[in-house]
Structure 1
Amino acid sequence: MYLKNLIKEKIEKKFAEIFNTNPPDFAVEIPPQNFGDYSTNVAMVSARTLKTSPMSIAKKITESFKNDPNFKKVEVAGPGFINFELSPVLYADVIQSYFKNVEIPKVSPQKIQFEFVSANPTGPLTVGHGRQAIIGDILSRLNEAIGNKVTREYYFNDAGRQVKMLGHSTWIRYNELYGKHFEFGEDDYVATYLIEIAKEISDRYGDRYVDVWNDEVQSFFSSYSTSKIFQWIKSTLSKLNVQFDSYFSEQTLYASGLTNEALEILKNKGYIYEKDGSVWFAVSKVLPSEEDRVIIRKNGDPTYFFSDIAYMLNKYRRGFDRVYYIWGADHHGYIPRMEAASKALGIPDGFFNVILHQFVTLKSGEEIVRMSKRHGEFVTLEDLIDAVGVDATRYFFAMIDPDATLVFDVELAKSKRMDNPVYY
């Protein structure tokens, strides 16, 4: 409405200068696609009063806007419509004038960390990750604006079972290139995006790993695959204008010995016990309503929960005043056990915070798009950005409260219709 009124005022002023009279009542509207940003019928409604053709009036008005830096293009169309295409100069002036009188409250600066996205490097980012990326980015920017010192961190699980399955799956795809066929395991990644990685390995290393499977090969394929996929992830986030200050690897928690240290702290406080060959954290000792949880399995493999306990300790020791984890709604049940871990480690109340968001449903026309990273049945976040543009993608993710499920209508986001909030 502000831009519409601004353009109308400019037209009224130009009209009065050219014809020495005020124009009759006229409209400034958003025209159909490919006809500029705004359009006016002033030439047609004033033709009878001026006793001049609409085209003649329109040409004179259009000529008067020739050197106006607020408009990229002003031209006559049809029987006498005048179409306006706005310039970046006008948009910048509008934004600056809006914020000129806005007072941003300042706070006593705190050192705050926002950890978000943190998708396992087992596949490209999905549409659901995009919502979390925008929520985290906006909250980080707002906290910086009010004076807090913000660290944006991406934590990736590169030490767990899923990474091993990814390596095995890529190895299977690699062998397929040489006519060797192995069965995918129940938890393997059947996704076709691994074929690209397998071809790259084949181009660089030839048939060195055909029919060869051992711990060394497992480690190589897992490492190569996660590294490649993480390149994709970083590229997509950059395209979305989301930047991180820190990328934190799960492996460093084990390499630094912090997992063992966290275990000793909990053990010395009486929160660790063994049962059925596994190592358990006594969550119920801290929160009686919660069940105890395994942190090291019978086979010696640590659980994600064990890593997350050590990661919490790492965050606290880095001197943050508060940390915010941004999680999908399916992690709701994970919050109490992390609260228990925080208390058991002796971390003050208020340090650990979680922001939950509901899921994203992707819609194209009348069809709901299914998403499953493990089976490769999903639209990547990069595909979505390429389809609708960065601005529309960011706007759609931000326009709905995180507590509400978001239906992302791809066709609507691409359209130039009044029911598209971006275009409108």
Structure 2
Amino acid sequence: MKEQLRKLIVTALSSLQQEGMLPHWDTHNIQVKRTRDKRHGDFASNITMMLAKEARQKPRDLAGLIVSRLPEHPWVEKVEIAGPGFINFTLALPAFQAVVSLVLDQREDFGCSNLGQNKPVHLEFVSANPTGPLHVGHGRGAAYGDALARLLTTVGYKIHREYYVNDAGRQMDILAASVWLRYLELCGETLPFPANGYRGSYVRDIAQVLKTEKDDIFHRPGQEILDGLPPDAPTGDKEQYIDALIQKCKDLLGERGYRQVFDQGLNSILADIREDLAEFGVTYDEWFSERHLMETGAVEQAVEQLKTSSHLYQKEGAWWFRSTDFGDEKDRVVIRENGQPTYFASDIAYHLNKLERGYPKIIDVWGADHHGYVQRVKSSLQALGADPQQLEIRLVQFAILYRGKEKVQMSTRSGEFVTLRELRQEVGKDAARFFYVMRSAEQHMDFDLELAKSQSNENPVYYVQYAHARISSVFRQLEERGLAWDPKQGRKQLQKLNESHEVALLDRLSCYSEVVEDAATQSAPHLLAYYLMDLARDFHTYYNAHTFLVDTPELRDARLTLIAATQQVIKNGLTLLGVSAPEAM
């Protein structure tokens, strides 16, 4: 409908231009938006405010000229000029009824568009360190990122989904040391476990596999390991202790042995993450290795490029990035005193790599705890000569899980956390995904387990899915009664859909494509979740107020055609959120 109104305005402008009353103007800039208040019509355009300066006319005067040249259209019931010069359109009922045929013609393609013109977009999301299973906090980023990828694909962008595997660096070394100590326990050694080690039961499981597959080849005497280590917390420094323990692990096992222990932990957890995400409905085009950046020299190359452009300086043996030159609160270390690159150095190289792969648009989905990284990463791209506007960073706030009134604590180091797999097993994939995207990503959310499991109208995902299943039940009842639905006749009888509940449902259906585009372009899947809840409410209200299987064939066909279109839109929307559309509940 928006496009039809746009065409009418273009026709009016062309007439005025041909008459010499308006200058030539790029008609792609014409905006037509749905009004928030039905008292102002269904759609409005601010074209006169945009064109008034070039036309050298007052907006209201210009609006009068445009309205006078608008062609008549059966969908347009009334056109009014409002306020400083808005052109408001009130549509006739056939305009809304027409969406039913459009839905049934396009089916699963309804809502698709070419807005993105197949432009490539690099989308990175989740990218949790492979130091433990995914927890419920990671689940929100997974549901959000995947829904965003589906939305952007639907409106015509070419999406590359990527998981950045942090398979290098200190945290992975801590995991390797933790696995080795648990392995040594299985070999009969009694050793204190470091305060800064990973304590989850999954570490013991990995160690058990290592022991089963490699027997005692990594066994070293406990006293040999402890000799020369500084004191651990609480009497000593836990950071110094774990670093010394890691070095001892490397020295005693040698490069090859250490790599085997390291990879045992990495590959085990990464395989678990892949499986967990796949069962959550999330897949990737590429799993990009941080180690690859190190081994190919990409990190060194990025650092040298910054040194050459004088964006790095040396202080106290470390190399610092002048991020304060770009608005950051302080400069950032990229190379430590010991010559090892920081995570920031890897991030610089990784984002440079994304640009070098030819992606004009990059979207990163990060946890809210990475807020401080936003400015420094954008600054590093600017320092490397790239446009920082190419990078869009979406921060996802934490999802706080409640069991009754008790908040569940999550810590991958202590092992006290609820995994994403456990959440799925308890509430199901559909409820988990819908609840995660039901709020704006920037908002904190409390995940109510009891509500997510309930089969009631208070449960949003149940409410939406039940609308889809309820429509299926109507068609089953149709068959059981020996009645028939003639879709062709239903389309011809759409003018009979003039009850208030039918008009409301038709109006809601007509919004779907706009909501999908808004949700995609604003990186806001929650807009689609809200829409589906509204659509389900409109349908349930209609269901409770009217009988669909009436005796009059014409009216019955029209109503069944309407609810068939409604069911298709519900299914399309749920699919974009990664949620199933059941036929029965």
Asked if 1:277 corresponds to 2:317, the answer is yes
Quote how far apart the aligned CAs of 1:303 are. Answer: 0.6
8 A Cα contact 2:111 2:154, kept in partner: no
User: What is the identity, as a one-letter code, of the residue corresponding to 2:370?
Assistant: H
**2: distance between equivalents of 1:260 and 1:152?**
26
Asked if 1:140 corresponds to 2:149, the answer is: yes
* 1:216-227 correspondence to structure 2 within 5 Å: 216=255, 217-227=257-267
Distance in 2 (CA, whole Å) between partners of 1:275 and 1:313 is: 25
Q: Distance in 2 between matches of 1:350 and 1:98?
A: 39
One-letter amino acid matched to 1:218 = Y
Amino acid at match of 1:239: E
Offset of 1:99 from its aligned partner?
Answer: 6.8
Distance 1:312 1:102 in 2: 35
Which residue identity lines up with residue 135 of structure 2 in the other structure?
A: T
Task: Name the SS of the counterpart of 2:304 in structure 1.
Answer: helix
Helix, strand or coil at the partner of 2:129: coil
Does 1:361 pair with 2:370? no
Q: How many residues align?
A: 331
Partner of 2:284: 244
Q: Which residue of 1 aligns with 2:41?
A: none
Distance 1:351 1:254 in 2: 24
1:161-218 CA distances to partner (integer Å, 9 max, x unpaired)? 0000000000111111122122223321122211111110111111111226424333
Residue in structure 2 matched with residue 266 of structure 1 by the alignment: 306
Secondary structure of 2:354's match?
Answer: helix
Whether contact under 8 Å (1:164, 1:218) holds in the other structure is no
Deviates more, 1:166-175 or 1:362-371: 362-371
**Structure 1 residue 401 displacement after superposition:** 1.1
Superposed counterparts of 1:412-423, under 5 Å? 412-423=451-462
What is the deviation of 1:97?
A: 4.5
User: Alpha carbons of 1:103 and 1:131: their partners in 2 closer, same or farther (altered >3 Å)?
Assistant: closer
- Secondary structure of the corresponding residue to residue 422 of structure 1: helix
Contiguous gaps of at least 5 residues in structure 2: 1-99, 222-248, 464-585
Point out where structure 1 has 5 or more consecutive residues left out of the alignment: 1-92
- 2:411 counterpart residue number: 372
Structure 2 CA distance for aligned equivalents of residues 378 and 346 of structure 1 = 42
Aligned residue type for 2:128: A
The superposition leaves residues 99-136 of structure 1 with CA deviations (integer Å, 9 ceiling, x where unpaired) of 75955342232110110000000000010111001111
Aligned residue for 2:386, secondary structure, equals: coil
- What SS does the corresponding residue of 1:407 show, helix, strand or coil? strand
Residue in structure 1 matching 2:420, options 372, 381, 405? 381
Higher helix share: 2
Change (3 A) 1:98 1:382: farther
- Report the counterpart of residue 127 of structure 2 in structure 1: 118
The residue type paired with residue 181 of structure 2 is I
Deviations 1:311-346 (A, max 9, x none): 011000000010011011111111110111010011
The structure 2 residue matched to 1:173, chosen from 178, 182, 200, is 182
**Residue 341 (str. 1) matches residue 380 (str. 2):** yes
8 Å CA contact retained: 2:103, 2:110: no
Q: TM-score, normalised by structure 2?
A: 0.55
The CA deviation at 1:220 is 2.0
Q: CA deviation at 1:259?
A: 1.0
- Using the alignment, how far apart are the partners of 1:327 and 1:365 within structure 2? 29
Aligned amino acid, residue 185 of structure 2:
E
- Aligned letter for 2:198? Y
Q: Distance in 1 between matches of 2:140 and 2:187?
A: 40
TM-score, structure 1 as length reference: 0.75
Higher strand content, 1 or 2: 1
State how 1:175-254 maps to structure 2 within 5 Å: 175-211=184-220, 213=249, 214=252, 215-216=254-255, 217-254=257-294
C-alpha distance after superposition, 1:396-421 (max 9, x if no partner): 11111112111112222122133222
What percent identity do the matched residue pairs reach?
42
Find the residue that maps to 1:354 and give its secondary structure. Answer: strand
- The range that moved more, 231-240 or 278-287, is 278-287
Superposed counterparts of 1:82-161, under 5 Å? 97=104, 100=107, 102-107=110-115, 108-161=117-170
Q: Deviations over 1:52-81 (max 9, x none)?
A: xxxxxxxxxxxxxxxxxxxxxxxxxxxxxx
RMSD: 2.0
